[in-house]
Amino acid sequence: MTLSTRSNFADPDSAYRMVVEAHRGLSGDDSASLDTALVLILANHIGDAEVLRDAITLAKRQIGSAAGSTISTKDCK
Q: pLDDT at residue 74 above 90?
A: no
Q: What is the pTM of this model?
A: 0.72
Angle at the Cα of 13 (from 22 to 31), degrees rounded to 5?
A: 20
Map out the domains of the chain as residue ranges. Answer: 9-46, 47-77
Tens-place pLDDT, residues 5-61: 999 999 999 999 999 999 999 999 999 999 999 999 999 999 999 999 999 999 999
Q: Which helix (H) or strand (E) holds 6?
A: none
What is the number of H-type helices and E-type strands within the chain?
A: 3, 0
**At what angle are helices 28-46 and 12-23 packed, to 10 degrees?**
140
Please say whether the beta carbons of 34 and 22 come within 8 A. yes
Confidence of residue 68 (pLDDT cuts 50, 70, 90): low
Torsion over CA: 63, 69, 73, 77 (sign): negative
